[in-house]
Structure 1
Amino acid sequence: MDHQAIQSIVEEVVLRLTEASARNHSVPMAVSARHCHLSKNDLEALFGEGYELTKKADLSQPGQFAANESITIVGPRGSLEKVRVLGPARTMTQVEVSQTDSVRLGVKPPLRESGDISGSAPITLVGPKGSLYKNEGLIIAQAHIHMTAWDALNFAVKNGEFVKVVVEGERPVTLGKVLIRVSPRYKLEMHVDTDEANAGFITGKSKGKLIKYEETV
């Protein structure tokens, strides 16, 4: 048997072992409540010139933190106070809410991947030093899984792929169209919003089983 044939067999075995391993692996989960990412300019407009966010607590994703600062977001029908700002400051402002929040605000934000705010819903932001009307930036975040390239290999998935996640428990639930996001900056974790968490009694201690669409539960 020549070297190329042996290499092909080895690669096939590794692939099959990886796929089998992925089917048995679970994904830790986190519940993402309503929050806001602010650009540097918008941060200063709301909190004052030269203002810097102050850290309240580190988040699970490396380099990310919950700030002590919060804002009020205002829609045509109502408002939500004490919306947590997450740091560090970004290049663009994005506000993430649940569908329940959107009803209270009287707005219709699209379901989007974080960072995709083009043509999203408008929202007014109110801080201690000023207010802003944003023509776009309000979204409902697509349920997603952060992972490294090694995790992606282990689960046999790729960046941008959609999968299903089964969460067992007191109220079992299957979440569909969960987006895979791969980056060396990430730590393995699935993020759902409060509506999704409430539907399945999901907490920060929950784990889900990743299922590729061609597989059966």
Structure 2
Amino acid sequence: MPTGVALRDVRQQLFDAAERVLLRAGPTALTSRAVTAEAGCAKGVLHRHFADFDDFLAELVRRRIAALEAWGATMRETAGSGPVDENIADALAGVFDPVGLGLISLIIARDDVRARLSRDGRPPGLPLLAEATAVLAAYLTAEQAEHRVPAGADVPTLALTLVGTAHLVFADRERTPPGPAATRALVASLLRTAAS
């Protein structure tokens, strides 16, 4: 990039570029060079805004977690409306979209990124999956208060089961990811099991 050309919202451009690289080529292709090339800027631009590439990646994940937590707050506020299985299926589809799956793979593969995220005081477990579990547990608790989830349901275990099962189903590279109807059927089945 020529000197003197101003970049607007460089951090956002870099995050958007990283997501495009993830979508196109997967987490193994996510390098500082790939991100800056995709963003159309010099490699040094990334290092002016972040301590190192792992710092950039941790911030990319933090932004995803913040969006998930905001969505979770909305889900809790609207508890009592819409079908519970559909609400959960929508949340899981958002967590396990292609970018989310790429970030989860990246967190698993990069110890330093995982360690940085764990130092944030986040819930125990794998970052992003742990927050997804916490968001669903809070939503299920809100629905329990509305009498739409059985009072005797073990909400923490149910949330963990929903996230773990969805991760296995969505991350299976041998199969096409489930569509909305299949995801909703899976969630409804797990909810029925919890009710019995």
TM-score (norm 2): 0.29
Select the structure with the greater relative contact order (CA < 8 A; seq sep ≥ 6): 1
Instruction: Work out which of the two has the higher radius of gyration on C-alpha atoms and give 1 or 2.
Output: 1
Higher strand share: 1
TM-score (norm 1): 0.27
